Amino acid sequence: MTCVARGANHGPAPIPQEGLWTKARMIQDISGFTHGVGWCAPQQGACKLTLGVKEGVIQEALIETIGCSGMTHSAAMAAEILAGKTILEALNTDLVCDAINTAMRELFLQIVYGRTQSAFSEGGLPLGAGLEDLGKGLRSMTATMYSTIEKGPRYLELTEGYVLKMGLDEKDEIIGYEFLRLGPMIDLIKQGVDANEAFRRSTGQYGRFDEAVRVIDPRQE
């Protein structure tokens, strides 16, 4: 039979990465920095995974989990497993926790489709970009809030830190809070600063806390 030529054979669509338009054919063609979220099958926990990839190989990994206690140990194992693997190897490696495995799958899709955070960065993001996300206290940003019909909302922890006190106005509405930056406090104590002084220096306020008519401990009052 006559061999009919294929006219529309233009190859892979180029993806933007590190200031270039790359036609990715092999895993080593892929570089990028990105992060995303995965969840476990019963949806009782989640993992935020951050990966820095150079020429297809994972150079850095940040694993943050929230959910069951076992996830934290799985995150420890994943931290040992991920760095040095290609993204294809990592996709086909058991990262122990279902949520971490799902996060790896979702990030693989982001990376190979060129949807990384560093898509238009010349030379990509430097190694250590993931760690910088944690801030100087090297702690994950955590939001922990609780509320009931009878007692209303309680701010327990926000990005600023552990909430010590909530400030209320004359209507008992929240107008500010006092917080403790746990990471910096521990750093000061490690440097030899007295614990009480470290506590004082690591305390801050947000909102109109000084204008509060009443101040309460969200955990006790």
Residue 70 has pLDDT above 80, yes or no: yes
Residue 86 has pLDDT above 90, yes or no: yes
DSSP string, 54-75: ETTEEEEEEEEEESSHHHHHHH
In the chain, helix, strand, coil percent, each to 5? 25, 30, 40
Query: What's the mean pLDDT in 29-34?
Result: 88
| pLDDT score at 24 | 85
Residue identified by tokens 């290609």 is: 86
Contact 90, 166 (CB under 8 A): no
Local structure of residue 213 (DSSP, 8 states)? S
Distances in Å between the alpha carbon of 108 and those of 63, 99, 136? 15, 14, 29
Contact 121, 18 (CB under 8 A): yes
Strand runs labelled E in the chain: 15-17, 20-22, 32-39, 46-54, 57-66, 144-148, 152-158, 161-168, 174-180, 203-207, 214-216
Residue 123 has pLDDT above 70, yes or no: no
Taking only the tens place, the pLDDT of each residue in 35-48 is 999 999 888 899 99
23, 89, 22: which is closest to 56 by C-alpha?
89
Greater model confidence, 58 or 1: 58
- Average model confidence (pLDDT) for the chain? 90
φ, ψ for residue 185, nearest 5 deg = -65, -45
Residue 95 has pLDDT above 70, yes or no: yes
Q: How confident is the model at residue 78 (pLDDT cuts 50, 70, 90)?
A: very high
Q: Assign 35 to helix, strand or coil.
A: strand
Contact 45, 112 (CB under 8 A): no
